[in-house]
DNA sequence: TCGCGAGCTGCACTTACTTCA
DNA sequence: GATGAAGTAAGTGCAGCTCGC
Protein backbone atom coordinates (compact mmCIF):
# COMPACT_ATOMS: atom_id res chain seq x y z
CA UNK A 1 0.00 0.00 0.00
CA UNK A 2 2.89 2.31 0.80
CA UNK A 3 0.93 4.91 2.69
CA UNK A 4 2.94 6.77 5.28
CA UNK A 5 1.46 8.58 8.22
CA UNK A 6 2.96 9.84 11.44
CA UNK A 7 3.64 6.85 13.67
CA UNK A 8 1.41 7.37 16.68
CA UNK A 9 0.78 4.40 18.86
CA UNK A 10 -3.00 4.38 18.75
CA UNK A 11 -5.65 1.83 17.92
CA UNK A 12 -6.32 3.83 14.77
CA UNK A 13 -2.79 3.18 13.58
CA UNK A 14 -2.97 -0.51 14.23
CA UNK A 15 -6.13 -0.50 12.17
CA UNK A 16 -4.21 1.00 9.24
CA UNK A 17 -1.51 -1.64 9.66
CA UNK A 18 -4.17 -4.28 9.42
CA UNK A 19 -5.28 -2.77 6.14
CA UNK A 20 -1.74 -2.82 4.85
CA UNK A 21 -1.62 -6.51 5.55
CA UNK A 22 -4.82 -7.14 3.69
CA UNK A 23 -6.97 -6.98 6.83
CA UNK A 24 -10.22 -5.20 7.49
CA UNK A 25 -11.31 -1.74 6.53
CA UNK A 26 -14.82 -0.80 7.42
CA UNK A 27 -16.47 2.51 6.58
CA UNK A 28 -13.65 4.86 7.44
CA UNK A 29 -11.19 5.44 4.67
CA UNK A 30 -7.47 5.55 5.18
CA UNK A 31 -7.56 9.24 4.33
CA UNK A 32 -10.04 9.93 7.06
CA UNK A 33 -7.75 8.15 9.48
CA UNK A 34 -4.71 10.00 8.26
CA UNK A 35 -6.46 13.34 8.55
CA UNK A 36 -7.57 12.53 12.05
CA UNK A 37 -4.09 11.49 13.13
CA UNK A 38 -2.46 14.55 11.60
CA UNK A 39 -4.99 16.77 13.35
CA UNK A 40 -4.23 14.98 16.58
CA UNK A 41 -0.48 15.36 16.19
CA UNK A 42 -0.78 19.04 15.33
CA UNK A 43 -2.88 19.53 18.41
CA UNK A 44 -0.61 17.52 20.65
CA UNK A 45 2.41 19.51 19.57
CA UNK A 46 0.77 22.53 21.15
CA UNK A 47 -0.03 20.72 24.36
CA UNK A 48 2.70 21.03 26.94
CA UNK A 49 0.77 18.92 29.43
CA UNK A 50 -1.20 15.76 28.88
CA UNK A 51 -4.51 17.28 29.81
CA UNK A 52 -5.46 20.77 30.81
CA UNK A 53 -8.49 21.89 32.73
CA UNK A 54 -10.28 24.83 31.23
CA UNK A 55 -10.24 27.94 33.35
CA UNK A 56 -13.34 29.17 35.12
CA UNK A 57 -13.49 32.11 32.75
CA UNK A 58 -13.34 29.86 29.71
CA UNK A 59 -16.00 27.56 31.10
CA UNK A 60 -18.27 30.49 31.93
CA UNK A 61 -18.08 31.85 28.42
CA UNK A 62 -18.60 28.42 26.89
CA UNK A 63 -21.56 27.87 29.18
CA UNK A 64 -23.09 31.19 28.22
CA UNK A 65 -22.65 30.36 24.56
CA UNK A 66 -24.16 26.92 25.11
CA UNK A 67 -27.24 28.46 26.73
CA UNK A 68 -27.76 30.61 23.66
CA UNK A 69 -27.41 27.70 21.24
CA UNK A 70 -26.29 24.18 22.07
CA UNK A 71 -25.13 23.46 18.53
CA UNK A 72 -21.93 24.92 17.19
CA UNK A 73 -21.63 26.29 13.67
CA UNK A 74 -18.10 26.40 12.24
CA UNK A 75 -17.98 30.19 12.32
CA UNK A 76 -19.07 30.42 15.92
CA UNK A 77 -16.60 27.70 16.85
CA UNK A 78 -13.73 29.65 15.32
CA UNK A 79 -14.81 32.88 17.01
CA UNK A 80 -15.18 31.23 20.38
CA UNK A 81 -11.84 29.48 20.07
CA UNK A 82 -10.14 32.75 19.23
CA UNK A 83 -11.85 34.54 22.08
CA UNK A 84 -10.95 31.84 24.58
CA UNK A 85 -7.45 31.15 23.33
CA UNK A 86 -8.33 27.53 22.66
CA UNK A 87 -8.11 25.23 19.67
CA UNK A 88 -11.38 25.05 17.69
CA UNK A 89 -11.32 21.32 18.33
CA UNK A 90 -11.31 21.95 22.08
CA UNK A 91 -14.40 24.11 21.72
CA UNK A 92 -16.11 21.43 19.63
CA UNK A 93 -15.21 18.76 22.18
CA UNK A 94 -16.47 20.89 25.03
CA UNK A 95 -19.84 21.36 23.28
CA UNK A 96 -19.99 17.66 22.52
CA UNK A 97 -19.40 16.72 26.14
CA UNK A 98 -21.74 19.45 27.37
CA UNK A 99 -24.56 18.13 25.18
CA UNK A 100 -23.92 14.65 26.54
CA UNK A 101 -24.07 15.94 30.14
CA UNK A 102 -27.25 17.86 29.41
CA UNK A 103 -28.83 14.76 27.92
CA UNK A 104 -27.90 12.68 30.95
CA UNK A 105 -29.44 15.25 33.31
CA UNK A 106 -32.53 15.45 31.12
CA UNK A 107 -32.91 11.66 31.26
CA UNK A 108 -32.62 11.78 35.05
CA UNK A 109 -35.30 14.48 35.24
CA UNK A 110 -37.58 12.52 32.91
CA UNK A 111 -37.07 9.41 35.00
CA UNK A 112 -37.97 11.26 38.21
CA UNK A 113 -41.14 12.64 36.63
CA UNK A 114 -42.19 9.25 35.31
CA UNK A 115 -41.49 7.61 38.65
CA UNK A 116 -43.55 10.19 40.53
CA UNK A 117 -46.37 9.70 38.06
CA UNK A 118 -46.16 5.93 38.42
CA UNK A 119 -46.12 6.11 42.23
CA UNK A 120 -49.19 8.33 42.18
CA UNK A 121 -51.03 5.97 39.84
CA UNK A 122 -50.08 3.02 41.99
CA UNK A 123 -51.37 4.76 45.08
CA UNK A 124 -54.68 5.56 43.36
CA UNK A 125 -54.92 1.99 42.19
CA UNK A 126 -54.41 0.61 45.71
CA UNK A 127 -57.06 2.96 47.05
CA UNK A 128 -59.49 1.91 44.34
CA UNK A 129 -58.89 -1.78 45.04
CA UNK A 130 -59.55 -1.26 48.76
CA UNK A 131 -62.72 0.71 48.00
CA UNK A 132 -63.85 -2.02 45.68
CA UNK A 133 -63.37 -4.69 48.33
CA UNK A 134 -65.16 -2.65 50.96
CA UNK A 135 -68.11 -1.93 48.69
CA UNK A 136 -68.40 -5.57 47.71
CA UNK A 137 -68.59 -6.68 51.32
CA UNK A 138 -71.17 -4.01 52.12
CA UNK A 139 -73.31 -5.03 49.17
CA UNK A 140 -73.14 -8.67 50.23
CA UNK A 141 -74.14 -7.74 53.74
CA UNK A 142 -77.03 -5.56 52.64
CA UNK A 143 -78.23 -8.12 50.10
CA UNK A 144 -78.33 -10.73 52.84
CA UNK A 145 -80.31 -8.30 54.95
CA UNK A 146 -82.77 -7.77 52.12
CA UNK A 147 -83.18 -11.49 51.48
CA UNK A 148 -83.79 -12.11 55.19
CA UNK A 149 -86.62 -9.61 55.14
CA UNK A 150 -88.05 -11.17 51.97
CA UNK A 151 -88.19 -14.57 53.70
CA UNK A 152 -90.08 -13.20 56.69
CA UNK A 153 -92.76 -11.73 54.48
CA UNK A 154 -93.47 -9.08 51.91
CA UNK A 155 -91.81 -5.83 52.69
CA UNK A 156 -93.90 -2.76 53.03
CA UNK A 157 -93.17 -0.45 50.11
CA UNK A 158 -91.72 2.19 52.41
CA UNK A 159 -89.22 -0.25 54.00
CA UNK A 160 -88.11 -1.55 50.64
CA UNK A 161 -87.38 1.96 49.47
CA UNK A 162 -85.51 2.65 52.66
CA UNK A 163 -83.30 -0.43 52.16
CA UNK A 164 -82.50 0.58 48.62
CA UNK A 165 -81.37 3.94 49.91
CA UNK A 166 -79.21 2.11 52.48
CA UNK A 167 -77.46 0.22 49.70
CA UNK A 168 -77.06 3.30 47.59
CA UNK A 169 -75.68 5.21 50.54
CA UNK A 170 -73.20 2.47 51.28
CA UNK A 171 -71.74 3.03 47.86
CA UNK A 172 -71.97 6.78 47.85
CA UNK A 173 -70.23 7.20 51.16
CA UNK A 174 -67.18 5.95 49.30
CA UNK A 175 -67.83 7.88 46.13
CA UNK A 176 -69.04 11.25 47.29
CA UNK A 177 -72.22 11.15 45.23
CA UNK A 178 -75.55 12.26 46.61
CA UNK A 179 -78.16 9.51 46.69
CA UNK A 180 -80.90 11.93 45.83
CA UNK A 181 -79.03 13.02 42.74
CA UNK A 182 -78.75 9.48 41.50
CA UNK A 183 -82.27 8.49 42.37
CA UNK A 184 -83.63 11.59 40.74
CA UNK A 185 -81.79 10.68 37.58
CA UNK A 186 -83.83 7.49 37.56
CA UNK A 187 -80.90 5.18 37.94
CA UNK A 188 -78.67 3.72 40.62
CA UNK A 189 -75.96 3.32 38.05
CA UNK A 190 -73.05 5.58 37.32
CA UNK A 191 -70.36 5.86 39.89
CA UNK A 192 -67.81 8.40 38.81
CA UNK A 193 -65.77 9.35 41.84
CA UNK A 194 -64.12 12.49 40.61
CA UNK A 195 -61.83 13.62 37.86
CA UNK A 196 -58.62 12.61 39.59
CA UNK A 197 -59.74 9.34 41.03
CA UNK A 198 -60.19 5.96 39.46
CA UNK A 199 -63.52 5.25 37.83
CA UNK A 200 -65.65 2.44 39.13
CA UNK A 201 -66.95 0.62 36.11
CA UNK A 202 -70.66 0.07 36.16
CA UNK A 203 -72.22 -3.31 35.47
CA UNK A 204 -75.72 -2.04 35.97
CA UNK A 205 -76.84 -4.51 38.62
CA UNK A 206 -74.56 -4.11 41.60
CA UNK A 207 -72.14 -6.77 40.56
CA UNK A 208 -68.50 -5.76 40.70
CA UNK A 209 -65.32 -6.60 39.04
CA UNK A 210 -61.78 -5.86 40.05
CA UNK A 211 -60.46 -2.56 38.81
CA UNK A 212 -57.30 -3.04 36.83
CA UNK A 213 -54.43 -0.65 36.20
CA UNK A 214 -55.82 -0.13 32.70
CA UNK A 215 -59.01 1.22 34.23
CA UNK A 216 -57.05 3.62 36.36
C1' DT B 1 -28.82 12.24 -13.25
C1' DC B 2 -26.36 8.86 -10.63
C1' DG B 3 -22.53 6.89 -8.09
C1' DC B 4 -18.54 7.49 -5.49
C1' DG B 5 -14.94 9.30 -2.55
C1' DA B 6 -13.59 12.82 0.62
C1' DG B 7 -14.45 15.82 4.33
C1' DC B 8 -16.98 17.22 8.14
C1' DT B 9 -19.97 16.78 12.15
C1' DG B 10 -22.68 14.59 15.81
C1' DC B 11 -23.44 10.89 18.96
C1' DA B 12 -22.39 6.92 21.96
C1' DC B 13 -19.03 4.86 24.32
C1' DT B 14 -14.53 4.74 26.36
C1' DT B 15 -10.16 6.25 28.29
C1' DA B 16 -7.08 9.05 30.84
C1' DC B 17 -6.42 12.44 33.85
C1' DT B 18 -7.72 15.78 37.76
C1' DT B 19 -9.85 16.98 41.92
C1' DC B 20 -11.61 16.20 46.27
C1' DA B 21 -13.24 13.93 50.38
C1' DG C 1 0.43 10.30 51.59
C1' DA C 2 -2.80 6.67 49.63
C1' DT C 3 -7.14 5.78 47.74
C1' DG C 4 -11.62 5.59 45.60
C1' DA C 5 -15.40 8.28 43.52
C1' DA C 6 -16.88 11.83 40.64
C1' DG C 7 -16.10 15.08 37.06
C1' DT C 8 -14.28 16.17 32.66
C1' DA C 9 -11.18 16.66 28.44
C1' DA C 10 -10.17 13.99 24.79
C1' DG C 11 -10.00 9.53 21.79
C1' DT C 12 -12.46 6.20 18.94
C1' DG C 13 -15.86 4.18 15.89
C1' DC C 14 -19.70 4.76 13.31
C1' DA C 15 -23.51 7.05 10.73
C1' DG C 16 -25.33 10.70 8.11
C1' DC C 17 -24.87 14.64 5.34
C1' DT C 18 -22.84 17.70 1.71
C1' DC C 19 -20.00 18.64 -2.16
C1' DG C 20 -17.17 18.06 -6.11
C1' DC C 21 -15.91 15.04 -9.75
Q: What is the pLDDT of residues A123-180, one digit of tens each?
A: 999 999 999 999 999 999 999 999 888 777 654 444 545 555 555 555 454 444 433 3
d(CA A190, CA A202): 6
Q: What is the pLDDT of residues A53-74, one digit of tens each?
A: 899 999 999 999 999 999 999 9
Q: Which whole-number Å values give the CA distances from A134 to A46, A61, A170, A171, A191, in the listed order?
A: 77, 63, 10, 9, 15
Q: What is the pLDDT of residues A169-215, one digit of tens each?
A: 554 544 444 333 433 333 333 333 232 332 333 333 333 333 344 44
How far does the CA of A7 sit from the C1' of B2, in Å? 39
Show me where the domains of chain A are located.
1-52
Cβ A44 to strand C below 7 Å:
yes
**CA closest to B7 C1', residue:** A32
d(CA A191, CA A174): 10
Question: Are the CB atoms for A65 and A76 separated by under 8 Å?
Answer: yes
Q: What is the pLDDT of residues A111-123, one digit of tens each?
A: 889 989 999 999 9
> How long, in residues, is chain A?
216
Cβ A187 to strand B below 7 Å:
no
Amino acid sequence: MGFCICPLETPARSKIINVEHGGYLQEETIFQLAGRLVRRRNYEEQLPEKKRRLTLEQVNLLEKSFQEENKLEPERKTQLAKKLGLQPRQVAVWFQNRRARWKTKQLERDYDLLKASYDSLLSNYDTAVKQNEKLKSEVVSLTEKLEAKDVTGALPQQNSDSLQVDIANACDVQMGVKVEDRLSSGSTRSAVVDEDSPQLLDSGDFSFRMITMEDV
